[in-house]
Amino acid sequence: MRTTLIITICLLSLFALGVSCSEDSKDCSSTEEQIQKPLNPNGDSELALLMRAMFDEAQRIKKQIANNEPVTLTLDHDKILTAHATEPEKAASEEYKAFAAAYLQTIESLETASQAQIIDVYDGMINNCMTCHKALCPGPMARIKNLQ
Ligand code: HEC
């Protein structure tokens, strides 16, 4: 009788733990949720919206390169340093800032690269998306892989 009670309590608390963990990390850990989430529901952070725009921009640049067209940038990528994040402490970390600086550097190179260099610079940029995500926000990695 007693054992049953203890087991029940254990199971219940495990369940509660599981729910709160997935709740806490929904923005960065669950790929499926990311894809199925409607664009712009209330509560999306400024950084999350910027990231989606960056994803679209990278997709467009990939097409431009494939079609031998000049690459165009439409976003203010520097906002990656200031946009408000779902988990502000993450974006405030030294690690995040270093990854962001590396990313911004490849964006700058995209603007000046010759046609011959552009594919390598593009690959480098997507690698920078990946390195930061691998360290801080693994959820969208499967999506980012599609940009390679
Ligand atoms: C310096 C680190 C860093 C770099 C570089 C970076 N990301 Fe992110 N990304 C994040 C963080 C942190 C979040 C979580 C944002 C939030 O919820 O506030 C995120 C979220 C996302 C999301 C999910 C947005 C949503 O719908 O909630 C996508 C997609 C994404 N990033 C794609 C990219 C792409 C594509 C690139 C490169 C062009 C990139 N990221 C570069 C840190 C980074």
pLDDT > 90 fraction of the chain, expressed in percent and rounded: 71
pLDDT at residue 101 tops 50: yes
Q: Is there a contact between 52 and 39 (Cβ–Cβ < 8 Å)? A: yes
Quick one: average pLDDT of 105-123? 96
Rounded Cα gap, residues 145 and 148, in angstroms: 5
Tell me if 77 CB under 6 Å of ligand 1. no
Which tokens hold the place of 108? Answer: 């700058």
- Residue 57 located in a structural domain: yes
Tell me if 51 CB under 6 Å of ligand 1. yes
Residue whose CA is closest, atom 36 of ligand 1? 129
135 CA: nearest ligand 1 atom: 2
Contacts 24+ apart (CB under 8 A), 64-67: 65/118, 65/119, 65/122
- Residue 141 located in a structural domain: yes
Q: How many domains does the structure of the chain reveal? A: 1
Which has the higher per-residue pLDDT, 16 or 136? 136
Q: Is there a contact between 26 and 33 (Cβ–Cβ < 8 Å)? A: yes
What's the confidence (pLDDT) of residue 28? 77
Domain hosting 102: range is 31-145
85 CA: nearest ligand 1 atom: 18
What's the pLDDT tens digit per position in 25-45? Answer: 346 765 444 444 445 456 899
Tell me if 61 CB under 6 Å of ligand 1. no
What's the confidence (pLDDT) of residue 9? 47
- Residue 5 located in a structural domain: no
- Residue 39 located in a structural domain: yes
> Terminal CA-to-CA distance of the chain, rounded, Å?
57
The predicted model scores a pTM of 0.81
Q: Which residues of 95-115 are buried (b: 16+ CB within 10 A; e: fewer)?
A: ebeebbeebbebbebbeebee
Q: Where are the alpha helices (DSSP H) in the chain?
A: 2-24, 26-29, 31-36, 46-66, 88-91, 94-112, 118-136, 141-145
- Residue 129 located in a structural domain: yes
- Residue 54 located in a structural domain: yes
CA–centroid distance, residue 21 to ligand 1 (Å): 20
- Residue 132 located in a structural domain: yes
Tell me if 107 CB under 6 Å of ligand 1. no
The vertex-123 CA angle with 122 and 127, nearest 5°, equals: 115
Residue whose CA is closest, atom 14 of ligand 1? 48
- Residue 21 located in a structural domain: no
Arithmetic mean of pLDDT over the chain:
83
CA–centroid distance, residue 38 to ligand 1 (Å): 16
Residue whose CA is closest, atom 5 of ligand 1? 129
Rounded Cα gap, residues 142 and 144, in angstroms: 6
